[in-house]
Copies of this chain bind each other. A is one copy, B any other.
Amino acid sequence: MRHPPAKEADLKFAKLDLDRLRRRGMPETIYGAGKTGAQLAAIFSALAKAGQNAFATRVGPEQAAIVQQTVPDAVYHAVSHTLSHDSVPLPKRLGKVAVLCAGTSDVPVAEEAAITAERMGARVVRLFDVGVAGLHRLLSRQSQFANARVLVVVAGMEGALPSVVAGLVSRPVIAVPTSVGYGASFKGVAALLGMLNSCAAGIVVVNIDNGFGAGVAAAMINRQKP
């Protein structure tokens, strides 16, 4: 087996895969947790030099500020804890992805999903205050999400929202458990198990707090060209 050399940028602490956009339909995304501001700045600089867009998740405001000293146009999205810098225009937003969650604590994960899907070309509708314990709110907004191509439903604690939503639509539902809760929530495990065991078919699940992964999958489904 012969394979061509990989197209990549070698920063000492990491090698950037500059070919992923072509291969997988999405550019490399940086996982910010555990990286220093200086490392992130180096990555953003390298991608800027390569003329590629940069997007990092799980970035705190301090890390972001350090990147912005080197790459001043980088934009920090405080709610989703993401950082972006775009050298080329993002794809036009098409289709419809609905992102739902129950409230305050789940919003950062939901917003990470939403912004990720938008960057990959999805038009996103956000419904961030619809929980199972107040069913009337959810039902009164049904027309806003029922015609989406795909739904991302984010929930912590018992994680019941995706089951209820999936029962109301005929489109795929990506369930995202969050680590919101305490005690026997076991940092999102209760929600994760609830979603995996949903009695409503058509639900698929991602890792706890993985708004990014849900956003990627939703965008892939949304851009479907038959």
* A→B interface (CB under 8 Å): 1, 3-6, 8, 13-15, 17, 20, 23-26, 29, 33-35, 94-95, 102-105, 107, 129, 131-137, 139-140, 142, 149-150, 157-160, 163-164, 166-172, 174, 177, 179, 181-210, 212-214, 216-217, 220-221, 224-226
Residue of B nearest to A168 (CB): B135
Measured between beta carbons, the chain B residues less than 8 angstroms from A166 are: 133
Nearest CB on B from A37, distance (A): 15
Measured between beta carbons, the chain B residues less than 8 angstroms from A179 are: 183
Nearest CB on B from A215, distance (A): 9
A174 CA to B203 CA, complexed, in Å: 11
22 of the cross-chain contacts (CB-CB < 8 Å) are A1-B3, A1-B142, A3-B140, A4-B136, A8-B137, A14-B129, A24-B167, A26-B202, A94-B226, A95-B226, A149-B224, A157-B199, A158-B194, A172-B217, A183-B188, A183-B192, A183-B209, A184-B196, A184-B197, A201-B212, A201-B216, A204-B206
Measured between beta carbons, the chain B residues less than 8 angstroms from A35 are: 104
Q: Cβ of B196 and Cβ of A190 under 8 Å apart?
A: yes
Q: Cβ of A193 and Cβ of B196 under 8 Å apart?
A: no
Nearest CB on B from A182, distance (A): 7
Measured between beta carbons, the chain B residues less than 8 angstroms from A163 are: 132-133, 158, 160
Which one of B1, B103, B167, B226 lies within 8 Å of A225 (CB-CB)? B226
Nearest CB on B from A74, distance (A): 20
Q: Cβ of B167 and Cβ of A17 under 8 Å apart?
A: no
Nearest CB on B from A79, distance (A): 9
Q: Cβ of A189 and Cβ of B196 under 8 Å apart?
A: no
Q: A17-B137, A135-B167, A184-B192 are in contact. List 5 more A-B contacts (CB 8 A).
A: A4-B136, A13-B107, A24-B167, A190-B194, A196-B205
A183 CA to B58 CA, complexed, in Å: 13
Nearest CB on B from A211, distance (A): 11
Measured between beta carbons, the chain B residues less than 8 angstroms from A1 are: 1, 3, 136, 139, 142
Q: Cβ of B149 and Cβ of A226 under 8 Å apart?
A: yes
Q: Cβ of B135 and Cβ of A164 under 8 Å apart?
A: yes
Q: Cβ of A209 and Cβ of B182 under 8 Å apart?
A: yes
